[in-house]
Structure 1
Amino acid sequence: MPQLNPNPWFLIFIFSWLFFLVIMTQKVMSHLPTKQNLFKKTQKPKPKPWNWPWT
């Protein structure tokens, strides 16, 4: 049975993980924005007080 022979599949498994961990991370990290301050709001919204019915 070929699926019980780990010789070719283990090598494919190792190379695929190396591809995802080394090459794909570099490609994904190159598309991330470098300036995170542009996306942050400068002022936080003030919370509204709760209206309690018994007060």
Structure 2
Amino acid sequence: MPQLNPSPWFNIMIFSWLVFLIILLPKILAHNTPYEPSPETAEAPKAQPWIWPWH
């Protein structure tokens, strides 16, 4: 059963992780979002009671 031979698959896995860590990860971390979230207000929202027609 050749799929149990770890030699080629281990090399593919190591190469894939190296590509991810060296090339893709810095590009992902350098990405800036266009809109920074604004801080929330200190006021709690006022709850409105639900009016259910029970009849």
Structure-1-length-normalised TM-score: 0.57
User: How many residue pairs were aligned?
Assistant: 46
TM-superposed deviation, 1:32 = 2.1
Which residue identity is paired with 1:46? E
| 1:13-28 correspondence to structure 2 within 5 Å | 13-28=13-28
In the TM superposition, 1:35-54 aligns within 5 A as: 38-41=36-39, 44-48=41-45
Shift of 1:48: 4.6
**Which runs of 5 or more residues in structure 2 are unaligned?**
48-55
Higher helix proportion (structure 1 or 2) = 1
Deviation at 1:28, TM superposition (A): 0.8
- Indicate the percent of aligned positions where both proteins have the same amino acid: 43
